[in-house]
C-alpha cells in the first residue's frame, strides 16, 4: 500500500513526464486523424448531407462512407463514439482481432516511442528528483537499446500468447466447452473465465517485463536476459506484494474506466461542442496515462523499498556533457 | 383390417374428398397423417406417415417425387453444401453434425383410404437431381408408380423412415436436449401442369409444397414441452416414460415442431374488434424470461397491423418459440409456428427480438397462406414480408436503436443517438453493397448463395417501399390486400403480383418492374453542379445553374428541388431518362442548395450523398468533428496496447 501511494507521489511530482507522454499520444495519433478528417471531407464534398453529420449522426451517409472507404476509412464505425471506443478496443485485444494496417503502424510507432521514453521515465521515478530534459533523454537513449532487446523477447512471448495460447483457449477449449450448451449465459461464463485466464497471463507477462525494465534502470543492467531472470527472481520472492500492488493499480484503472463510462461524450455537434467533447476525451487520455505511469512508479517504489532504498540507482546521474573548450570558458 | 374400420375409413376418406372439392379454404390435396418417435439417445426420429395425395394438375403422372431435405447434410457432396463451399460459406461440420433420412418402406394404394391392396414400392426409390445433375445429392427421391395417376385421381402413400437429427444446419437440429425439427419428414413435391416442381435443396432457397390437413402424433420423453404447427388435440402417457402428443392442422403446407424440457410455456389471447382472436403460445428460454412481454407485444402488434392492412390471420392459434442458444433455429417460419431471436442480454432499445418475431409472424401471410414457390421466387415471400414488417416496426416500435456487440458478441452497447429506422429495416446497407449480384427474375435457386438474401429480402423491400412512396400507402395497402385475398392457398406467380399492382393502382407500372425485377442495373442520381453568378450590372439578378446527372443505368422519375436564400423553393419533375438535365433560374436571391429526390422516394439509390449540393458546405465541420472522435478511438487503442510496454 505504501508503495502504491509512493507511486502516485512520484507520478505527480514529475508532471513534465505526464505532459510528455500525453504529447506523444497526441502527436502519434494526429497524422492518421488528419488523414481520416480528409477522407470524410472528401467524401462529403459539397453534399448537404454534411449538415446532419456535423450536427449529430447521419447514419445514412455513414454507412455509404464505410461502404466506399478503403484503408483507415473502414475503421470509422459507431464504436468510435464515447465509451464504445474503449469497449471495442479492449474487446478486440482480448478476442485477438487484427487491426487495419495503417492503424497497426501507428500502434507500432507508439510502442516504439514508449520503449524509448520508458528509460527516462523509470530513471526519473527511481531518482525521485528532477533530472532535467537532458538527463531524461540521456537515460532514455541509454536504456532504449537495452529495452529493444528486452522488447524482442517480449515480442516472442506475446506472440506466443496471442498466436498459440489464445488460439488454444478460445478456438479450441472454448469451442469444446460450449459447443453443446443451449444456455447463453453459461457460454458467456466460460468466455469470461477464459478472458480472465488470458488477461491473467498477459498481466503476469507484463509484470515480469515491467520489473525487468525497472531492474535494468535501477541496477544499470546491460543484459536483457539477466534483467528478465532478475525480475523473475524478485517476483518469485515477493509474489504477494507484487500481486497486491498490481491489483491496486488495476483497481485504479477500473475506476477510471467506470468514470469514463459515465461521462464519455456522445456524438455531439460541431464547433464548440466538438471541441468540448474532445477536451473531455483528452482528460480521459491523461487519466489513463496517469494510471499507466502509476504502474511504473509504484513498481519502482516497491522494488527500491524491498531491494534497495528510496532514490537508489546504480548508475550515476546523467550530467550535461561539457567539452573542454566550454569548461575553459567557464573558468 | 376389421370391416367396420374399413367402412369408417372409407367414409372419412370420401368426406375428405368432398371437402377438398367444396368450400375448404385450400385444395387440401396433400394431407399427412404422421406418427413419429423422438429417440434422444440416438438423436434420431423414427416415423411413419400416410400421405393422401390428389393430382390437381392437368396431366397424369407415372411417378411421385419427394423431398428428403435432411439428406442435404448427409455428406459434403450434396448440392446444399457444395454451393456453400463455392460461396465461401462452408465450415467443416463436426463428426456428429451430419444427418440423413432413409426411407425403409414405401407403399402405395390407389384412392383415399381405399380397400385396395398396398403395392410395395420400396425398391423403386431412386434419387434424382433435376437442377444440377449432382448424382451425390439425395434430397429429391423419385418413385415409379405401377400405374399412372390421372388428373383428379388420388392415392395413399405410406412411408416408414428413420432420420438422423443434425446438429443445427439450416434452422433444424438439436443442441443439448433442445430440439427444433423442421423439414423432417418425406414430403411430396408439387405436381404442376408443366410437370413435377421438386427442386433439390439449395443453399439459397427455402421450400414449396401443397396444402393439406396434418395429423401428427409425436412421442417424446415425458418431461419435454412440445410446440408444433397446429393445435394439440390429445395427449396420452405411455408406459415407457414417454408421452404422445397429437396435433391437428388444417390448410397448412408444412409441419414443424420443437421439444425441450426447459421451455417456459405461456399463452395469451390476441383480441381485436374486427379480427378473429388468436391464442398466442410462447415457448421461452428460462434465461430470457424477461423477454416475455416483448414477445407478446410484438405478436399483438403484428397480428393487428397485418390483419388490418392485408387480411385476417385465419388459424386461431400461433406458437412463438424463443430458440435456445446455438440452436441455429432463430428467425424462421413454419405454418402457425415460428421462431424469434432472443439474447440473454437484450437492451430494450435494440428491438432485435421484435424485428425478428414480427418478420416471422408476417411470414404466416406470405409464406403460410399465399405460399409462393420459395425455390424460384423467394422475393415474393421474403421481400414482401421484409417490406411489410419494416412498416410494422416503424409504426408500432419507433424507438429502435443501433447496437454493437463486444466480447465475443455477448455484451451489447446501444448507440442512443443512432436510430434504426425503417430504411435500416428495409436493409439498404446490404443491398447497396450487392446491388448487381443477381437479376431478381432469375430463379432463386440460381442466385449466388452468399448474396441471395440481399436480392430476395433487401432489394425487394426497397423497391416495394419505393413503390409505396410513388403510389402512396393507401394504393399499396389495397394492392397487397388484394394480392393476399386472391393469392391465399393458390401459390401465385410474379406476373400475378405485378398484374394486381397495375390493376389496383390504375397505372401500368411495367416500366418500374422492368427496372427493379427484370434487371440488375443500379440507380444513382446526383447533383453534379450547383453554381450561381451575379449577372452584369445594373441588374441584381443571380443566374443559378443546377446540373442533375444520372450516374446509374437504371431510371426512375425524380424531383429536383432548388432552395434560395430568400426561402423560395422550386420543384421540378424530371423523368430521369437522359443522362443529365440542366435547370437555370434567374432570381434576386442566391441559391442555398439543390437536391435530387429530396423526399427520398427512390430508396434504391445507392449513393444518396451525391443527391445534394450546397453553396455553404459543412464537410469541414463534419470532418473535424468525426476526425476528433476517431482520434480519441485511436488514442484509446494505443493506450490499450501500451499495456505491453
Whether the per-residue pLDDT at B129 is higher than 50: the answer is yes
Chain A residues whose CB is inside 8 A of the B324 CB are: 182-183
Cell triple for residue A30? 494526429
A248 touches chain B (CB under 8 A): no
Q: With an 8 Å Cβ cutoff, is A162 touching chain B?
A: no
The reply to whether B605 and B624 lie within a common domain is: no
Predicted local confidence at residue A315, as pLDDT = 64
Tell me the H-state helices in B285-411.
292-309, 352-363, 384-396
* Integer Cα distance of B281 and B336 in angstroms: 10
Tell me the pLDDT band of B539, cut-offs 50, 70 and 90: confident
| Best of B414, B432, B634 to mutate (most A CBs within 10 Å, chain A) | B634
Distances (CA, A) of A80 to A43, B405, B614, B623: 18, 13, 28, 14
pLDDT of residue B18: 38
Per-residue confidence band for B3, with pLDDT thresholds at 50, 70 and 90: very low
- B326 and B363 both lie in a single domain: yes
Q: Averaged over B112-132, what is the pLDDT?
A: 87
B331/B404 same-domain check = yes
Going by pLDDT thresholds of 50, 70 and 90, the confidence category of residue B224 is very high
In order, the DSSP letters of B572-618 are: EEE---SSEEEEEEEESS-EEEEEESTT---TTBS--GGGEEESS--
Contacts of B610 (CB under 8 A, 6+ apart): A45, A47, B524, B526, B527, B551
Q: How far is CA A258 from the centre of its chain?
A: 18
Same domain for B39 and B184: yes
Q: Measured between alpha carbons, how far is B286 from A119 in angstroms, rounded to an integer? A: 55
DSSP string, B107-146: EEEESTT-SSPPEE-GGGEEE--TTT--TT--SEEEEEEE
Q: Could you identify the residue written with the cell 487484427?
A: A98
Question: A323 burial class (0-12, 13-18, 19+ CB within 10 angstroms)?
Answer: exposed
Beta strands B257-260; B30-39: pairing state: unpaired
> Structural domain tally of chain A?
1
Q: Which residues, in sequence order, are CB contacts of B30 under 8 Å at separation 6+? A: B51, B52, B53, B54, B188, B209, B210, B211, B212, B253
* Chain B residue at shortest CA distance from A105: B638
Average pLDDT value for chain B: 94
Average pLDDT, integer, range A173-200: 96
Predicted confidence (pLDDT) at residue A131 exceeds the cutoff of 90:
no
Residue A1: pLDDT band with limits 50, 70, 90: confident
Of the residues A59, A148, A207, the best mutation for testing chain B's interface (the one with the most B CB atoms within 10 Å of its CB) is: A59
Q: Chain A residues with CB inside 8 Å of B632's CB?
A: 80, 85, 278, 281-282, 284-285
Task: Give the span between the Cα atoms of B388 and B378, in whole angstroms.
Answer: 15
Tell me which chain B residues have a C-beta less than 8 angstroms from the C-beta of A51.
614, 618
pLDDT for A11: 95
Residue A309: its pLDDT value, please?
A: 59
Torsion of CA B49, B55, B60, B65, to 10 degrees: -40
Give mean pLDDT, residues B158-176.
93
Q: Nine-digit cell at A181?
A: 450448451
Grid cell digits, residue B543: 443566374
Is residue B440 within 8 Å of B379, Cβ to Cβ? Answer: yes
Question: Is B473's Cβ below 8 Å from some Cβ in A?
Answer: no
What is the mean pLDDT of the segment spanning B355-363?
97
Nearest CA in chain B to A118: B645
Burial class (CB in 10 A: 0-12, 13-18, 19+), B443: middle
Specify the number of domains making up chain B.
Answer: 4
Regarding whether B181 and B34 lie in a shared domain, the answer is yes
- pLDDT for residue A76: 97
Residue B619 has its nearest CB partner, among A44, A180, A281, at: A44
- How far apart are alpha carbons A305 and B604 in whole angstroms? 70
User: What residues in A contact B630, CB-CB < 8 Å?
Assistant: 33, 36, 75-76, 80
- Residue A149, C-beta contacts closer than 8 angstroms, at least 6 positions apart: A224
Give the CA distances from residue B153 to residues A131, B58, B59, B579, in Å, rounded to whole numbers and listed in that order: 102, 11, 11, 59
Handedness of CA B463, B465, B469, B475 (dihedral sign): positive
Q: Is A294 a residue whose pLDDT tops 50?
A: yes
Task: Tell me which of A184 and A325 has the higher pLDDT.
Answer: A184
Q: Is the pLDDT of residue B138 over 50?
A: yes
Look up residue A186 and give its three cell numbers: 453459461
Cis peptide before B136 (omega within 30 of 0): no
**Closest residue in A to B325 (Cα–Cα):** A182
**pLDDT digit string (tens) for B496-524?**
999 999 999 999 999 999 999 999 999 99
* Residue B465 placed within a domain: yes
Asked if A30 and B631 come within 8 Å (Cβ–Cβ), the reply is yes
Q: Which of residues 176-205 of B touch A (CB under 8 A)?
A: 176-178
Domain finish residue from B492, B520, B548? B520
Alpha carbons A318 and A141: distance in angstroms, whole number: 11
Q: How confident is the model at residue B20 (pLDDT cuts 50, 70, 90)?
A: very low
Q: What is the pLDDT of residues B570-606, one digit of tens each?
A: 999 999 999 999 999 999 999 999 999 999 999 999 9
Residues B531, B516 within the same domain: no
**Cell numbers 374400420: residue:** B5
* Residue of chain B with shortest Cα separation from A212: B645
Contact A268 B625 (CB under 8 A): yes
Distance from chain centroid for Cα A131: 24
Answer whether B326 sits within 8 Å of A64, measured CB to CB: no
For B510-533, give the DSSP string: HHHHHHHTS--PPB-EEEEEEEEE
Q: What is the pLDDT of residue B537?
A: 83
Query: What's the pLDDT at B339?
Result: 97
In a shared domain, residues B555 and B442 = no
Give the model's confidence band at A325: pLDDT under 50 very low, under 70 low, under 90 confident, else very high: low
Residues B396 and B347 in one domain: yes
Contacts of B529 (CB under 8 A, 6+ apart): B545, B546, B547, B613
Q: What radius of gyration, in Å, describes the C-alpha atoms of chain B?
A: 28
Using CA coordinates, name the residue in chain A closest to B416: A266
Q: Which residues pair with B581 in a beta bridge?
A: B548
pLDDT per residue over A93-118, tens digit each? 999 998 899 999 999 999 999 999 99
Query: Mean pLDDT throughout B610-626?
Result: 96
- Asked if residues A298 and A249 have their Cβ atoms less than 8 Å apart, the reply is yes
pLDDT for res B114: 61
In the 8-state DSSP scheme, what is residue A315?
Answer: S
Is B278 among the domain residues? Answer: no
Q: Is B632 on the interface with A (CB under 8 A)?
A: yes
**Per-residue confidence band for B281, with pLDDT thresholds at 50, 70 and 90:** very high
The domain of B111 spans: 3-261
Chain B residue nearest residue A205, CA to CA: B644
Domain boundary among B226, B261, B296: B261
Assigned C-alpha cell, B17: 374428398
Q: Give CA–CA dist B623/B610, Å, rounded.
A: 17
pLDDT at B8 (0 to 100): 38
Give me the residue from A94, A118, A188 closest to B645, CB to CB: A118
The answer, for A36 touching chain B at a CB cutoff of 8 Å, is yes
Residues B441 and B340 in one domain: yes
SS3 B368: helix
Residue B208 has pLDDT above 70, yes or no: yes
Flag whether pLDDT at B234 surpasses 80.
yes
Distance to chain A for B542, nearest Cα, Å: 20
> Is B266 inside a domain boundary?
no
Compute the average pLDDT of residues A198-223: 94
- Chain B residues within 8 A of A267 when measuring between CB atoms: 417-418, 629
Do B408 and A85 lie within an 8 Å CB cutoff? no
Identify the bridge partners of residue B249 per DSSP, sorted by sequence position: B214
Under the banding of pLDDT at 50, 70 and 90, the label for residue A312 is: low
pLDDT tens-digit series, residues B189-201: 999 999 999 999 9
Quick one: cell of A196? 480472465
Chain B within 8 Å of A25 (Cβ-Cβ)?
yes
Q: Name the percent of chain A lying above pLDDT 70.
A: 93
Where do the H-state alpha helices sit in chain A? 2-13, 15-44, 49-55, 59-68, 84-94, 101-127, 132-160, 166, 174-178, 184-218, 224-237, 239-263, 272-307, 324-330
Chain A, 192 to 231: residues with Cβ < 8 Å from chain B are 192, 195, 202, 206, 209
Distances (CA, A) of B56 to A227, B150, B377: 87, 9, 21
What average pLDDT does chain A have? Answer: 92
The values of phi and psi at residue B111, to 5°, are 75, 150
- Note whether B605 and B627 are same-domain residues: no
Kindly state the cell numbers that stand for B502. Answer: 397495375
* Joined grid coordinates for residue A280: 473531455
Give B-chain residues touching A45 at CB under 8 angstroms.
609-610, 617, 619
- A contact test, residue of B404, B409, B623 with most A CBs within 10 A: B623
Contact with chain A for residue B625, Cβ under 8 A: yes
DSSP-derived letter for residue B314 is -
Q: Can you tell me the mean pLDDT for B356-369?
A: 97
User: In the predicted model, is pLDDT for residue B21 greater than 50?
Assistant: no
Is the Cβ of B423 closer than 8 Å to some Cβ of chain A?
Answer: yes
Q: Can you give the C-alpha Rg of chain A in angstroms?
A: 23
Q: Which three cell numbers stand for residue B616?
A: 455553404
- Residue B606 CA to residue A303 CA, distance in Å, equals 62
B626, A40 contact by CB (below 8 A) = yes
- In-domain check, residue B37: yes
Whether B550 contacts B606, CB under 8 Å: no
Give the Cα-Cα-Cα angle A299, A301, A307 (nearest 5 degrees): 95
Q: How many CB atoms lie within 10 A of CB B534?
A: 11
Domain range spanning residue A29?
2-330
Per-residue pLDDT of B48-72, as tens digits, reads 999 999 999 999 999 999 999 999 9
Q: Is this prediction's ipTM beyond 0.90?
A: yes
B640, B643, B634: which is closest to A154 by C-alpha? B643
* B63, B172: one domain: yes
**pLDDT (tens digit per residue) in B76-111:** 999 999 999 998 988 888 888 999 999 999 999 986
- Whether residue B72 lies inside any domain: the answer is yes
Same structural domain, B606 and B635? no
A155 near A224, Cβ under 8 Å? no
> How far apart are the C-alpha atoms of B288 and B323, rounded to whole Å?
10
CB contact at 8 A, B234 and B263:
no
The answer to whether A253 faces chain B, any CB pair under 8 Å, is no
Q: What pLDDT, on a 0 to 100 scale, did the predictor assign at position B181? A: 97
Give the span between the Cα atoms of A322 and A329, in whole angstroms. 11
How close is the nearest chain A Cα to the Cα of B60, in Å?
48
Chain segment B242-254, per-residue pLDDT in tens? 999 999 999 999 9
CB-based contact (8 Å) between A285 and chain B?
Answer: yes
| CB-based contact A78 B418, cutoff 8 Å | yes
Contacts of A79 in chain B (CB under 8 A): 404, 633
pLDDT band at A305 (very low <50, low <70, confident <90, very high): confident
Distance of residue A234 Cα from the nearest chain B Cα, in angstroms:
19
The answer for B145, left when phi > 0, alpha when psi is -120 to 50, beta otherwise, is beta
The band of B293, judged by pLDDT with boundaries at 50, 70 and 90, is very high
Give which of A20, A41, A144 to mutate to test B binding, by max B Cβ within 10 Å: A41
CATH code of residue B604: 2.60.40
Please report the pLDDT score of residue B117 as a whole number. Answer: 87
Amino acid at each position: 500500500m505504501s508503495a502504491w501511494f509512493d507511486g502516485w507521489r512520484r507520478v505527480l511530482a514529475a508532471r513534465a513526464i505526464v505532459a510528455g507522454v500525453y504529447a506523444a499520444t497526441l502527436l502519434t495519433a494526429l497524422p492518421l486523424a488528419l488523414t481520416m478528417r480528409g477522407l470524410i471531407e472528401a467524401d462529403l464534398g459539397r453534399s448537404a448531407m454534411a449538415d446532419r453529420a456535423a450536427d449529430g449522426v447521419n447514419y445514412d451517409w455513414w454507412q455509404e462512407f464505410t461502404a466506399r472507404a478503403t484503408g483507415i476509412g473502414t475503421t470509422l464505425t459507431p464504436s468510435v463514439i464515447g465509451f464504445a471506443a474503449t469497449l471495442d478496443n479492449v474487446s478486440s485485444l482480448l478476442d485477438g482481432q487484427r487491426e487495419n494496417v495503417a492503424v497497426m503502424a501507428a500502434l507500432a510507432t507508439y510502442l516504439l516511442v514508449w520503449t524509448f521514453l520508458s528509460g527516462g521515465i523509470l530513471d526519473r521515478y527511481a531518482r525521485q528528483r528532477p533530472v532535467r530534459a537532458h538527463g531524461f533523454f540521456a537515460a532514455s537513449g541509454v536504456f532504449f537499446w537495452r529495452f529493444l532487446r528486452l522488447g524482442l523477447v517480449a515480442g516472442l512471448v506475446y506472440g506466443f500468447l496471442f498466436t498459440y495460447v489464445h488460439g488454444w483457449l478460445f478456438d479450441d477449449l472454448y469451442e469444446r466447452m460450449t459447443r453443446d450448451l443451449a444456455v447463453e449465459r453459461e457460454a458467456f461464463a466460460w468466455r469470461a473465465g477464459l478472458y480472465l485466464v488470458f488477461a491473467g497471463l498477459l498481466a503476469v507477462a507484463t509484470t515480469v517485463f515491467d520489473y525487468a525494465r525497472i531492474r535494468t534502470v535501477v541496477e544499470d543492467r546491460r543484459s536483457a536476459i539477466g534483467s528478465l531472470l532478475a525480475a523473475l527472481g524478485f517476483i518469485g520472492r515477493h509474489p504477494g506484494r507484487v500481486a497486491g500492488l498490481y491489483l491496486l493499480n488495476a483497481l485504479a484503472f477500473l475506476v477510471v474506466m467506470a468514470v469514463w463510462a459515465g461521462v464519455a461524450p456522445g456524438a455531439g455537434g460541431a464547433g464548440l461542442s466538438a471541441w468540448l467533447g474532445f477536451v473531455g476525451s483528452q482528460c480521459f487520455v491523461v487519466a489513463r496515462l496517469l494510471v499507466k505511469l502509476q504502474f511504473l512508479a509504484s513498481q519502482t517504489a516497491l522494488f527500491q523499498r524491498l531491494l534497495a532504498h528510496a532514490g537508489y540507482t546504480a548508475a550515476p546521474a546523467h550530467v550535461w556533457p561539457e567539452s573542454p573548450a566550454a569548461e575553459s570558458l567557464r573558468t | 383390417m376389421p370391416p367396420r374400420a374399413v367402412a369408417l375409413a372409407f367414409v372419412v376418406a370420401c368426406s375428405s374428398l368432398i371437402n377438398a372439392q367444396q368450400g375448404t379454404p385450400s385444395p387440401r390435396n396433400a394431407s399427412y397423417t404422421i406418427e413419429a418417435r423422438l429417440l434422444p439417445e440416438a438423436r434420431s426420429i423414427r416415423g411413419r406417415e400416410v400421405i393422401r395425395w390428389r393430382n390437381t394438375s392437368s396431366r397424369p403422372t407415372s411417378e411421385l417425387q419427394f423431398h428428403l431435405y435432411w439428406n442435404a447434410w448427409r455428406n459434403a457432396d450434396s448440392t446444399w453444401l457444395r454451393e456453400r463451399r463455392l460461396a465461401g460459406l462452408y465450415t467443416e461440420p463436426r463428426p456428429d453434425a451430419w444427418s440423413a433420412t432413409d426411407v425403409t418402406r414405401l407403399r402405395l394404394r390407389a384412392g383415399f383410404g381405399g380397400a385396395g391392396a398396398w403395392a410395395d414400392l420400396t425398391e423403386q426409390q431412386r434419387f434424382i437431381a433435376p437442377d444440377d445433375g449432382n448424382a451425390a445429392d439425395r434430397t429429391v427421391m423419385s418413385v415409379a408408380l405401377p400405374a399412372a395417376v390421372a388428373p383428379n385421381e388420388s392415392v395413399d402413400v405410406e412411408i416408414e423412415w428413420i432420420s438422423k437429427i443434425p446438429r443445427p444446419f439450416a434452422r433444424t437440429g438439436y443442441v443439448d436436449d433442445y430440439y427444433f425439427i423442421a423439414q423432417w419428414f418425406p414430403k411430396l413435391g408439387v405436381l404442376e401442369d408443366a410437370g413435377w416442381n421438386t427442386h433439390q435443396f439449395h443453399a439459397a432457397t427455402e421450400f414449396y409444397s401443397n396444402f393439406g390437413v396434418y395429423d401428427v402424433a409425436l412421442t417424446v420423453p415425458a418431461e419435454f414441452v412440445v410446440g408444433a404447427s397446429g393445435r394439440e388435440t390429445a395427449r396420452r402417457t405411455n408406459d415407457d416414460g414417454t408421452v404422445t402428443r397429437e396435433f391437428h392442422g388444417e390448410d397448412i403446407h408444412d409441419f414443424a415442431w420443437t421439444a425441450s424440457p426447459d421451455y417456459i410455456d405461456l399463452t395469451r389471447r390476441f383480441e381485436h374488434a374486427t379480427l378473429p382472436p388468436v391464442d398466442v403460445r410462447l415457448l421461452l428460454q428460462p434465461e430470457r424470461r424477461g423477454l416475455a412481454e416483448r414477445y407478446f407485444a410484438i405478436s399483438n402488434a403484428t397480428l393487428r397491423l397485418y390483419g388490418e392492412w392485408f387480411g385476417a390471420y385465419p388459424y386461431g392459434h400461433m406458437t412463438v418459440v424463443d430458440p435456445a442458444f446455438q440452436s441455429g433455429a432463430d428467425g424462421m417460419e413454419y405454418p402457425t409456428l415460428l421462431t424469434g431471436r432472443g439474447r440473454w442480454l437484450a437492451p430494450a432499445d435494440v428491438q432485435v427480438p421484435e424485428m425478428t418475431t414480427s418478420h416471422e409472424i408476417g411470414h404466416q401471410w406470405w409464406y403460410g397462406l399465399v405460399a409462393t414457390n420459395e425455390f424460384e421466387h423467394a422475393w415474393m415471400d421474403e421481400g414482401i414480408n421484409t417490406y411489410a414488417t419494416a412498416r410494422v416496426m416503424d409504426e408500432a416500435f419507433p424507438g429502435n436503436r443501433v447496437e454493437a456487440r463486444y466480447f465475443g458478441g455477448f455484451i451489447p452497447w446501444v448507440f442512443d443517438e443512432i436510430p434504426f429506422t425503417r430504411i435500416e429495416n428495409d436493409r439498404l446497407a446490404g443491398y447497396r453493397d450487392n446491388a448487381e449480384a443477381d437479376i431478381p427474375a432469375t430463379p432463386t435457386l440460381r442466385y449466388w448463395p452468399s448474396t441471395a438474401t440481399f436480392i430476395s429480402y433487401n432489394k425487394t423491400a426497397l423497391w416495394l417501399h419505393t413503390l409505396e412512396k410513388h403510389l402512396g400507402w393507401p394504393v399499396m395497402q389495397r394492392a397487397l390486400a388484394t394480392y393476399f385475398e386472391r393469392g391465399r392457398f393458390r401459390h401465385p406467380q410474379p406476373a400475378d403480383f405485378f398484374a394486381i399492382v397495375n390493376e389496383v393502382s390504375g397505372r401500368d407500372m411495367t416500366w418500374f418492374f422492368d427496372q427493379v425485377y427484370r434487371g440488375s442495373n443500379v440507380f444513382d442520381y446526383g447533383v453534379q453542379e450547383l453554381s450561381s453568378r451575379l449577372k452584369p450590372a445594373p441588374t441584381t439578378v443571380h443566374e443559378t445553374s443546377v446540373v442533375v446527372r444520372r450516374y446509374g443505368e437504371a431510371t426512375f422519375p425524380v424531383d429536383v428541388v432548388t432552395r434560395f436564400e430568400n426561402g423560395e423553393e422550386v420543384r421540378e419533375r424530371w423523368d430521369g431518362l437522359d443522362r443529365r438535365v440542366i435547370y437555370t433560374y434567374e432570381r434576386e436571391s442566391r441559391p442555398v442548395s439543390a437536391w435530387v429526390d429530396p423526399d427520398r422516394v427512390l430508396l434504391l439509390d445507392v449513393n444518396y450523398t451525391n443527391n445534394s449540393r450546397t453553396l455553404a458546405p459543412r464537410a469541414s465541420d463534419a470532418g473535424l468533428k468525426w476526425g476528433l472522435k476517431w482520434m480519441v478511438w485511436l488514442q484509446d487503442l494505443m493506450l490499450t496496447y501500451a499495456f505491453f510496454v
